[in-house]
Each structure stands twice: as C-alpha cells, then as structure tokens.
C-alpha cells in the first residue's frame, strides 16, 4: 500500500467534474417534489397537454438515476410523436446526464451528440453551447483533455456571445476543474476565478460554494494549505445551508489531506471520519469508498497497519461490489502481501546496516574479530539475498497467476513479451448477455454485503458453466454477465456451445433451491457476428470486445423474457439443426431497426 502515501489531491479533484451543472439546474427548479410528480405521472391523472412538461420536470429533477433515465427516454418518445424538437433535445440532454451518472460514458456521449445535431439543425445557439459543455465534461472525465478543451472553448465562446451567465460560469468552473486535475494550476486559477466573479455577480449561492471549494483545491495543490482550508470551510458552510452533501464529503476529505501533509494526523483523521460519516448517512457509495482510501493512508502514516489494511479491504469491496469479487479480493490480498514483505525487507536491511556498523567499530579495535564478523555478515547477507530472491519469485508467480485470471493465456503472453496487445478482428464470434429481472428493486432492500454475496453466488456458477464449454468470460457490469465464444482462437461450434451454456445458466437460476434468500429470474440474449477484441487500459488491464455484434446481443437480452434465451437470426442459422427454436417475428430494436428474433426452446430430438 505504499502508493497510498502520495497526495490524493489529483484523485479527488475529478469528483466534481461534470457535476456542478446538474446541481445548478436542480436548484433552479420549482419546489414540487419529484416523488410527487412521479406519482402523478404513474397514476395518469394529468391532462394530455401537460404530459411533455411533466416528463421534462421528472427527467431534469428526479434524484434516482434509473428513474431519470426512464423519464428521459419517455420524454424523447413522447416528443417524437408530436415532432417537438425542443423537447427531444431536452430528453436527449437529460438522458446523457443520467448515463453519465451511471458511468456509461460512451452512450452518454452518443446521446449528447444527438442533442447537439438537433441544436445545430434548429440553429439554436444557446442549446448548442449548453450541450457542448456536457460533452466537454464527459471527455474530461475520460481524461481526453484535447477533446475536452476543444469543446469547452467552443461552448464558452457561444455562451459569452449569447450572454448566458449561468451556463457560462458552469462551463468555466468545469474547465478550471479539468486544468486542476492535469496540474495546470495557472489556467485552473484563471477559469475558476472568472467563474467565481460571475456567480457572485448573479448571486448564485451554490455557484459561490463550488467556486470557493474548487479554488481551495487549487490552493492545496499549490501548497497554500491555509487558504485552501479557509476556502473549503467557507464552501462547506454554504453547502450545509443548501443541504448539498455530496461536495461537502469531498471537501472534508481534502481538508483531511491538508492536515496529513502538515503531519497533524489526529486532525486529519477527524476530518476523514466526518467525510465517511456524511457519505454513509446519505448513501454516497463512491464517496464512502474514497473515505475508506483516505483512512487507509492516514492509519498507514500513523503506523497502525492493521486498521490501514482493514479500511483498504473495505475500499476495494465498495469499489468493485458487483464486479468479479474473487479476482478483486485476490488482487487486494496480493498487493497487501507484497507491501508487507517489502516493509519487512526494509526493516531487515536497516537491521543489517546497524549490525555492519557495529562490526566496523569493533573491527577497529580487534582486527581478527573484524575478519570473523565480516565473514559472518557476508554469510548473513548471502542468506538474506537468497530469501529475498525466493520471495520475489513467489510474488512473480502469484502476479502471473492473477494476470491469467484476468486475460486469456495467449493475450497475457503477448502482453508480457511486447508490453502491449494488438487488437484483433474475429469474423465469427458468439456473444451472450445475461442479467437479472428486478435487480434494482432487490438491491434497494439489501445491504451491500448481502447484495455482493447474492451476485457472487450466481456469477460464480456462470463462470463454471463458461469454463465448462470453453468460452471466454469478458466482464460483469452490475447485474449483467457477458461472455463470448470463438476467441481468442476461432472454432466452428462456438454458437452451439454458447446456446448450451445459456440454457444451463437459465436452468441453474430457475431450479436453484439452496442459494441466497433472494431469488432472481434471468434474461439471456445472444448474437453471432464479427467483433474486434483487445486490451483496455494501461494499468488495470481488461480484455474486451467491441462492434455491432456486441450491441445487438445486449439489445436481444433487453428485449427478451425472464427464463428464456432470445437469439438473433444469424445465431439461429447456426444452431437450428441442433436446437428447437420459436420464431418471435420481426421486433423493433432500439437504435437498430426491425430484427428477426427466436426463443430457444431446447435441444432438437435426435440431435447429437
């Protein structure tokens, strides 16, 4: 865990990117509760002429991300019927905001760009400037500063010309945040200070709070801890009055880092615990995980390694709570074991140096004793080197085993030999998606520990089935499980194996009686076609696949039914001689048009 000693300012600054505009929009709305509006819409007790306005209010203001996404898509559909470009634009903008909050950045960008095309077609410069800020925010989150800077500059130029003070200040604040993250502090100070002037002029208290807090982060990076702490405390007072708790948790954590740099560990610990308490109280899971990381660093500096290790494991559990739990835990244990061994090596080396100094002092007085002690020291050093080399080899073996657990064997070998992996195209691959019906509703009623245990129970069995049929697990995202057949080496029967695996997954979920208390129903979708496969990332590697084949497989799962396997026409042609299939007809698939679909009902009688 020694890398935790470095400053966390870079890590935490990204927490506010792209978030301010959402907060500002929310604060500007009327005081009618989104839950009340939700009940009105669900009951249908509203005039037809009020439908679009009601959907817009819900899409803009709903605090639940899934419901926000739902109402955004409802708004787009309703606006399409009456051909209202203004409401379609608003629906696409809010859909992008919801997807960004879900960290689905690729689809968020797609939605934003659709909104931008409408604004350009309608020659509505104000809307174009607003959506360009959102596009820049996503690129900034992705770390693509070149694209982010381009869209920020375009947006601020439009908003200045249009005299849109609120959105201009928001854009300047977010652009300043981008420069803070990349440590271009002069530019960060310039844009954030201009945003502060505008917010002060228009009297936006939440804008003033964010400006103060972000300036505090800049001062912290510049080493001006006194001004940093002063600014953040002022921001916290305003935000507490406005009941905006998300940024308070972030700023408290920043102040904790400031005191840790001053070596005032008790005060640093106090602020970190306040940040954790606030995040836990308001259900901010990411901030809970970040608070655990800050506490890990503080306890490590205090020499309380047991508590540091305990909080680090909690940080890992929150960070990957519905991902591949076994792999993440193995990685956390591997890192911790390595750090413990390295600290022990440092202690042993220090002891050895002290012994060597004692030998030298004694050797000045007694030459013969020097020779004997020197020989003894060399022997001990030889033993120490042998032990150290054995530890290194053991750790290397564990690291390679972990790499093989994440990547296919051939891909891992290519990565070790060349330091990178060349993306490859496969002309025929079968892709399967599976997810659980009603997962979100169940998740709300379960503790994080119960939720992780339940998801891990089902996904562990899915892993066994995938391995049984020689398929490649790609990833899990939330309650979605994705695997593929026909790679990294092409085979002819990947579609048949994938159908067998999918049917076995459904049978396991439907018939399992001894598992967790919460029972799910699973939907399975499958498609066959070309994909591109390769490695994502430069540190935490992930083997992934891309292409329309993957997107269509996901849509097939989404349009399927619980307890059934929905396949495309391309898959049907490959498996129809071995499996009985029920033709569903030509169904409309979002963003894909009309497609033929089939339910697999079971193995064909007499098939091998």
pLDDT in tens, 157-214: 888 888 888 888 888 888 888 888 788 888 888 988 888 898 899 888 888 888 898 8
User: What pLDDT score was predicted for residue 160?
Assistant: 86
Q: Which of 596, 568, 438 is nearest to 498 (CA)?
A: 568
Share of the chain above pLDDT 90, in %: 26
Does residue 495 have a pLDDT over 90?
A: yes
H helix or E strand, kind and range, residue 530? strand 521-536
User: What pLDDT score was predicted for residue 506?
Assistant: 94
Say what the pTM is. Answer: 0.44
User: What pLDDT score was predicted for residue 258?
Assistant: 82
pLDDT in tens, 51-91: 999 999 998 988 888 999 999 999 999 999 999 999 999 99
- Give CB contacts under 8 A, 24+ apart, made by 138-145: 138/18, 138/96, 138/100, 138/105, 138/108, 138/109, 138/112, 139/109, 140/17, 140/18, 140/174, 140/177, 140/178, 140/181, 141/14, 141/17, 141/18, 141/100, 141/105, 142/105, 145/178, 145/182
Looking at every residue in the chain, the average pLDDT score rounds to 80
Q: What is the mean pLDDT of residues 113-128?
A: 91
Does residue 260 have a pLDDT over 90?
A: no
Does residue 362 have a pLDDT over 80?
A: no
pLDDT in tens, 534-557: 877 666 667 889 999 999 999 999
pLDDT in tens, 278-311: 878 876 777 788 888 889 989 998 988 888 888 8
Fold of 421-603: Alpha-Beta Plaits (3.30.70)
Higher pLDDT, 345 or 588: 588
User: What pLDDT score was predicted for residue 8?
Assistant: 39
Q: What is the mean pLDDT of residues 258-273?
A: 86
Query: Quick one: pLDDT band at residue 3, thresholds 50, 70, 90?
Result: very low
Beta bridge partners of 523: 435
User: What pLDDT score was predicted for residue 91?
Assistant: 94
Beta bridge partners of 568: 597
Does residue 583 have a pLDDT over 50?
A: yes
Q: Does domain 204-319 have CATH number 1.25.40.10?
A: yes
Does residue 24 have a pLDDT over 80?
A: no
Does residue 2 have a pLDDT over 60?
A: no
User: What pLDDT score was predicted for residue 322?
Assistant: 34
Q: What is the mean pLDDT of residues 478-496?
A: 90
User: What pLDDT score was predicted for residue 338?
Assistant: 33
- Give CB contacts under 8 A, 24+ apart, made by 508-514: 508/458, 508/461, 508/465, 509/458, 509/563, 510/563
Spans of all domains in the chain: 204-319, 328-406, 421-603
């Amino acid at each position: 865990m020694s890398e935790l000693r470095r400053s966390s300012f870079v890590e935490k600054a990204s927490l506010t990117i792209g978030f301010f505009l959402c907060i500002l929009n929310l604060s500007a709305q009327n005081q009618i509760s989104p839950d009340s509006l939700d009940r009105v819409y669900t009951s249908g007790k509203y005039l037809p002429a009020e439908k679009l306005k009601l959907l817009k209010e819900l899409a803009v203001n709903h605090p639940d991300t899934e419901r926000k996404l739902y109402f955004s898509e409802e708004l787009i559909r309703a606006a399409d019927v009456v051909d209202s470009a203004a409401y379609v634009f608003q629906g696409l903008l809010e859909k992008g905001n919801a997807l960004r909050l879900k960290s689905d950045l690729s689809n968020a960008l797609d939605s934003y760009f659709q909104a931008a095309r409408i604004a350009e077609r309608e020659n509505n410069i104000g809307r174009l400037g607003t959506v360009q800020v959102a596009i820049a925010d996503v690129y900034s989150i992705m770390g693509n500063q070149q694209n982010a800077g381009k869209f920020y500059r375009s947006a601020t130029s439009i908003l200045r010309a249009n005299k849109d003070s609120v959105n201009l200040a928001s854009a300047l604040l977010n652009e300043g945040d981008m420069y803070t993250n990349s440590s271009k502090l002069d530019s960060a100070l310039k844009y954030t200070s201009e945003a502060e002037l505008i917010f002060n002029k228009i009297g936006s208290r939440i804008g003033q709070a964010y400006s103060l807090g972000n300036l505090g982060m800049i001062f912290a990076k510049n080493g001006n801890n006194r001004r940093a702490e002063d600014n953040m405390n002022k921001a916290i007072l305003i935000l507490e009055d406005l009941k905006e708790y998300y940024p308070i948790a972030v700023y408290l954590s920043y102040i904790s880092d400031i005191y840790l740099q001053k070596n005032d560990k008790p005060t640093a610990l106090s602020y970190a615990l306040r940040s954790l308490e606030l995040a836990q109280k308001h259900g901010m899971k990411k901030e809970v995980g970040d608070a655990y990381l800050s506490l890990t660093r503080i306890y490590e500096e205090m020499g309380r390694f047991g508590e540091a290790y305990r909080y680090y494991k909690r940080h890992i559990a929150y960070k990957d709570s519905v991902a591949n739990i076994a792999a993440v835990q193995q990685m956390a244990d591997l890192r911790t074991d390595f750090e413990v061994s390295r600290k022990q090596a440092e202690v042993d080396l220090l002891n050895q140096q002290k012994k060597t100094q004692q030998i030298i002092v004694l050797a000045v007085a007694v030459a013969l004793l020097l020779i004997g002690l020197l020989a003894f020291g060399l022997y001990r050093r030889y033993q120490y080197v042998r032990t150290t080399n054995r530890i290194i080899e053991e750790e290397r073996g564990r690291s390679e085993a972990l790499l093989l657990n994440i990547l296919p064997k051939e891909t891992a070998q290519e990565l070790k030999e060349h330091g990178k992996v060349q993306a490859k195209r496969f002309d025929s691959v079968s892709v399967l998606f599976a997810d659980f019906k009603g997962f979100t509703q169940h998740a709300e009623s379960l503790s994080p520990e119960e939720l992780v245990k339940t998801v891990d129970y089902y996904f562990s069995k899915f892993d066994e089935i995938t391995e049984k049929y020689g398929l490649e697990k790609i990833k899990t995202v939330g309650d979605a499980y994705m695997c593929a057949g026909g790679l990294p080496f092409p085979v002819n029967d990947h579609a048949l194996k994938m159908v067998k695996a999918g049917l076995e997954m459904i049978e396991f979920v439907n018939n399992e009686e001894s598992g967790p208390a919460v029972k799910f129903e699973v939907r399975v979708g499958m498609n066959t076609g070309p994909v591109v496969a390769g490695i994502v990332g430069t540190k935490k590697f992930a083997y992934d696949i891309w292409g329309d084949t993957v997107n269509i497989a996901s849509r097939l799962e989404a349009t399927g039914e619980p307890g059934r396997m929905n396949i495309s026409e391309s898959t049907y042609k490959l498996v129809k001689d071995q499996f009985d299939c029920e033709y569903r007809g030509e169904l409309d698939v979002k963003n894909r048009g009309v497609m033929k679909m089939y339910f697999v009902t079971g193995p064909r009688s007499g098939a091998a």
